[in-house]
């Protein structure tokens, strides 16, 4: 049984529906119980999730989790949203899977639309070499983790960590 | 609170409680004792046995053996029959039996028994030709329920019994738990050998069941110990509960309320199917072939557990066949056997009425339910499908 805040989210779910166009949509479903949840998001130019909406057919745990997640990730960057993680299991974890799927669609679309006039280092959140260099320079960053926190590069699959390391090394000029 | 979950369990009738009360206070003896108090207890037990026998049309009260619950009755019947025929290794049952039968038969498959699982059609009806074809020389047992707990669909046990009797030497067990007190039953005019029932489904307390054992049939004791129940079921008789079951059976015979309950059920079912576009009935439409108190309705493209929680918030108790109704996360085997589509099985709600429901209960439910379904449908990802069913 749900109580308190979770129950309120079940009986009065927030952000139900579809995000405005252009939107990116993700789905997750359970073959065990038949639950099905759909997240749609809008992402602004600063890569922030500016709008989150969901639709779901599922139990009270799933609906409460979905509703709470929409509030939690609104305003975060796609990288922050994709890495907040979830402690939930079974039905409760499905909304997070659907959100990740929506972010993936956004990333795939944005990557396809990448103009290609500068080198792309982080392909998950498409951060260019120039952006990373600028962040390192202006903020005096020294580790991959700091770079990720600063500009999302490396927050996804992790395959660019080596490249970021190399950029850090190149920029680590003697004082 | 509006209680529409009477196939799960029922309220103890005031008449039943009144009958039990002396046996929870002054009449505390053991019916096996020889003194006056013991004899009074014994008399109460035998009196109850008669009421049970009367309700299900047993030829003699001695054909009734008291147990602790319906599941014990089913387990004893099935294990008992198999124990008396060690050379027969074949069982016939259905895919829509209660867990007490179904899970035991699955277990028996692991113990070297071959089980034929009879299916049902989309209305939940049994294929009697499949039964005929399945009967073999080494069939020890046919176990088939009378009324399905989820849909209320009735199996023709009279005809099944005739087929089993004429075309085999198998013993015929019927799980009658969900049917007793809801429809007239007359076992002496059937070929039913064993028949399980449970008190708490008919306004007796939980913790009391019975097994009808046709005269001439002998089963080894399931619980070994003293000589209670003519040596057929050991353990000190649960006299208060037995008296409660007897009183409940008597009440069901004298004042059965069948027509009134059926009228309420029909009103509920008709209005739901008429006013809610994504509602569809599970189980055969012909009401003569269903229990008069049960209505299993799927609300397509919404989730049964969510409907249940919203109804609960409104003070209305129902059940769901959706996967989340239990920790097993499996959708209802009955609805699966009926080939109910996934998106409908997930939104199934069982309404089951009793003598204590009123017109007001039904009208309140009819007032509350459409809004809940509309709210959940508006959240559903299946908007195109919902638009299609609204046409």
pLDDT for res A175:
44
Which sequence spans correspond to the domains of chain B? Answer: 14-254, 257-390
Q: Which of B63, B154, B145 minimizes the C-alpha distance to B105?
A: B145
Are A65 and A30 members of one domain? yes
How far is CA B279 from its chain centroid?
A: 24
Whether residues A127 and A83 share a domain: the answer is no
Helices B359-379 and B258-275 pack at an angle, to 10 degrees, of 30
Same domain, yes or no: A91 and A134: no
Same domain for A106 and A47, yes or no, is yes
Shared domain for A124 and A103, answered yes or no, is no
Distances (CA, A) of B97 to B229, B290, B335: 28, 15, 12
Let me know whether A103 and A32 are in one domain: yes
Give yes or no: residues A130 and A147 share one domain.
Answer: yes
Report yes or no: A14 at the B interface, CB cutoff 8 Å: no
Query: CA-nearest residue of chain B to A37?
Result: B381
Q: How far apart are CA B160 and CA B162, in angstroms?
A: 5
Co-location of A32 and A71 in the same domain: yes
ipTM: 0.86
Contact A27 B381 (CB under 8 A): yes
- Residues forming a β-bridge with B143: B173
Task: Clarify whether residues A69 and A144 are in a common domain.
Answer: no
Partner residue facing A34 (CB), from B309, B323, B378: B323
End residue of a domain, out of A78, A112, A146: A112
Same domain, A125 and A98: no
Q: Distance (Å) from the C-alpha of residue B154 to the closest C-alpha of chain A? A: 28
Q: Give me the pLDDT at residue B328, please.
A: 54
Q: Taking CB atoms and an 8 Å limit, are B303 and A11 in contact across chains? A: no
Q: What is the structure's pLDDT at B323?
A: 64
From B307, which residue of chain A is nearest by alpha-carbon distance? Answer: A59
Asked if B343 and A34 come within 8 Å (Cβ–Cβ), the reply is yes
pLDDT of the residue at A1:
66
Task: Give the side-chain half-sphere CA count within 13 A for B139.
Answer: 25
**Cβ contact, residue pair A13, B303, below 8 Å:** no
With CA atoms as reference, the chain A residue closest to B344 would be: A34
A10 Cβ under 8 Å from any chain B Cβ? yes
Best of A13, A17, A33 to disrupt the B interface by mutation (most B CBs within 10 Å)?
A: A33
CATH number for the domain spanning A153: value is 1.10.10.1100
Kindly list the residues from chain A whose CB atom is less than 8 angstroms away from the CB atom of residue B345: 34
Question: Which residue, of A71, A95, A112, is where some domain finishes?
Answer: A112
Which residue segment(s) compose the domain that A79 sits in?
4-112
Q: What are phi and psi of B371, to 5 degrees?
A: -65, -40
Q: Among residues A88, A112, A136, which one ends one of the domains?
A: A112
Whether B380 and A55 lie within 8 Å, measured CB to CB: yes
Inspect the interface and report whether the beta carbons of A16 and B313 lie closer than 8 Å. no
* CATH number of this structure's domain B14-254: 3.40.640.10
Q: Is A31 on the interface with B (CB under 8 A)?
A: no
DSSP helix/strand/coil, A82: helix
Separation of alpha carbons B348 and B86, rounded Å: 42
Q: Which residues of A91-100 are buried (b: 16+ CB within 10 A; e: fewer)?
A: bbbbbbbbbb
What is the per-residue pLDDT across B73-123, written as a single tens digit (0 to 9) for each? 999 999 999 999 999 999 999 999 999 999 999 999 999 999 999 999 999
Q: Which two tokens stand for residue B288?
A: 């003569």
Q: Which of B342, B343, B379 sits opposite A56 (nearest CB)?
A: B379
Place of tokens 């006039």: A117
Q: Is residue B324 among the annotated active site residues?
A: yes
With CB atoms and an 8 Å threshold, state whether B322 touches A11: no
Express each pLDDT in A62-76 by its tens digit: 999 999 999 999 999
Classify A7 as helix, strand or coil. helix
Sheet bearing B279-282, strands edge to edge: B279-282, B294-299, B348-352, B319-320
The DSSP bridge pattern shows strands B316-317 and B2-3 to be parallel
Q: Which residues in chain B show pLDDT less than 70?
A: 323-330
> B305 and A56 in contact by Cβ < 8 A?
no
What tens-digit pLDDT sequence spans chain A (175 residues)?
678 999 999 999 999 999 999 999 999 998 878 899 999 999 998 889 999 999 999 999 999 999 999 999 999 999 889 888 878 777 889 999 999 999 999 988 888 888 777 888 988 888 888 889 998 999 989 999 999 888 888 888 888 999 999 999 887 665 4
Tell me what pLDDT residue A158 has.
87
* Rg (chain B; Cα; Å): 22
The answer to whether residue A28 neighbours chain B at the CB level (below 8 Å) is: no
Are B346 and A34 a contacting pair at CB < 8 A?
yes
By Cβ distance, the residue of B329, B376, B382 closest to A33 is B329
Asked if B323 lies within 8 A of A33 by C-beta distance, the reply is yes
Pick A58's closest partner by Cβ from B303, B378, B382.
Answer: B303
Cβ B382–A57 below 8 Å, yes or no? yes
- Residues in B closer than 8 angstroms to A10, CB to CB, are 306, 309
Contact B331 A33 (CB under 8 A): yes
A69 at B interface, C-beta within 8 A = no
Number of domains chain A is built from: 2
Of B331, B345, B380, the CB nearest to A57: B380
| Distance in Å, alpha carbon of A133 to nearest chain B alpha carbon | 43
Q: pTM here?
A: 0.91
Number of neighbours of residue B216 by Cβ within 10 angstroms: 7
Determine contact: A19 vs chain B, CB below 8 A: no
Per the prediction, chain B carries an average pLDDT of 96
Q: Which chain A residue has its CA at the smallest distance from B381's CA?
A: A55
Q: Residue A91: closest CA among chain B residues belongs to which residue?
A: B324
How far is A40 from A48, CA to CA, in rounded Å? Answer: 14
Claim to verify: residue A70 and residue A15 sit in the same structural domain: yes
The two three-digit tokens of residue B228, written as one number: 């209670």
Q: Does domain B257-390 have CATH number 1.10.10.10?
A: no
Mutation target vs A (from B299, B375, B379, B384; most A CBs, 10 A cutoff): B379
Give A-chain residues touching B342 at CB under 8 angstroms: 34
B323 contact residues in A (CB cutoff 8 A): 32-35
């Amino acid at each position: 049984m749900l109580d308190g805040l979770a129950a309120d989210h079940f009986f009065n779910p927030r952000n139900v529906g579809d995000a405005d166009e252009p939107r990116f949509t993700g789905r997750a479903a359970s073959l065990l119980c038949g639950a099905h949840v759909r997240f749609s998001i809008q992402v602004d130019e600063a890569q922030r999730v500016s709008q989150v909406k969901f639709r779901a057919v599922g139990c009270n745990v799933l609906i409460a989790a979905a509703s709470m997640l929409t509030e939690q990730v609104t305003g975060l960057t796609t990288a922050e949203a994709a890495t907040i993680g979830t402690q939930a299991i079974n039905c409760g974890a499905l909304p997070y899977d659907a959100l990740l799927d929506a972010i993936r669609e956004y990333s795939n679309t944005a990557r396809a639309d990448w103009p290609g006039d500068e080198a792309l280092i982080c392909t998950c959140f498409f951060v260019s070499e120039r952006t990373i260099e600028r962040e390192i320079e202006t903020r005096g960053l020294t580790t991959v983790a700091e770079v990720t926190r600063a500009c999302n590069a490396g927050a996804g699959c992790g395959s660019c960590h080596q490249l970021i390391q190399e950029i850090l090394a190149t920029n680590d000029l003697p004082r | 609170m509006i209680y529409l979950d009477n196939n799960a369990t029922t309220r103890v009738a005031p008449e039943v409680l009144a009958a039990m009360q002396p046996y929870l206070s002054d009449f505390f003896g053991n019916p096996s004792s020889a003194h006056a108090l013991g004899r009074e207890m014994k008399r109460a037990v035998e009196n109850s046995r008669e009421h049970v026998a009367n309700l299900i049309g047993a030829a003699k009260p001695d054909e009734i053996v008291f147990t602790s619950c319906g599941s014990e009755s089913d387990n004893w019947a099935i294990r008992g029959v198999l124990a008396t025929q060690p050379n027969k290794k074949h069982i016939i049952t259905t895919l829509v039996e209660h867990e007490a039968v179904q899970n035991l038969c699955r277990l028996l498959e692991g113990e070297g028994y071959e089980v034929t699982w009879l299916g049902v059609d989309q209305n939940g009806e049994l294929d009697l030709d499949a039964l005929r074809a399945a009967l073999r020389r080494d069939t020890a047992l046919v176990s088939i329920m009378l009324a399905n707990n989820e849909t209320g669909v009735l199996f023709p046990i009279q005809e099944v019994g005739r087929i089993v009797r004429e075309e085999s030497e198998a013993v015929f067990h019927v799980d009658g738990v969900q049917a007793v007190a809801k429809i007239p039953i007359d076992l002496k005019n059937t070929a039913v050998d064993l028949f399980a029932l449970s008190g708490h489904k008919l306004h007796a307390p939980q913790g009391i069941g019975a097994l009808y054992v046709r005269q001439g049939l002998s089963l080894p004791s399931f619980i070994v110990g003293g000589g209670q129940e003519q040596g057929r079921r050991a353990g000190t008789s649960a006299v208060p509960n037995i008296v409660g079951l007897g009183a409940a059976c008597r009440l069901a015979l004298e004042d059965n309320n069948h027509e009134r309950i059926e009228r309420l059920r029909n009103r509920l079912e008709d209005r739901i199917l008429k006013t809610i576009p994504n509602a569809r009935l599970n189980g055969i439409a012909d009401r003569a072939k269903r229990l008069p108190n049960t209505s299993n309705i799927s609300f397509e493209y919404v989730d049964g557990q969510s409907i249940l929680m919203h109804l609960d918030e409104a003070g209305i108790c129902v059940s769901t066949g959706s996967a989340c109704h239990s920790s097993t996360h499996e959708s209802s085997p009955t609805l699966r056997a009926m080939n109910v589509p996934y998106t409908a099985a997930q939104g199934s709600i069982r309404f089951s009425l009793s003598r204590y429901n009123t017109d007001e209960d039904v009208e309140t439910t009819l007032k509350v339910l459409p809004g809940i379904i509309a709210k959940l449908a508006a959240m559903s990802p299946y908007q195109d499908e919902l638009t299609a069913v609204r046409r």
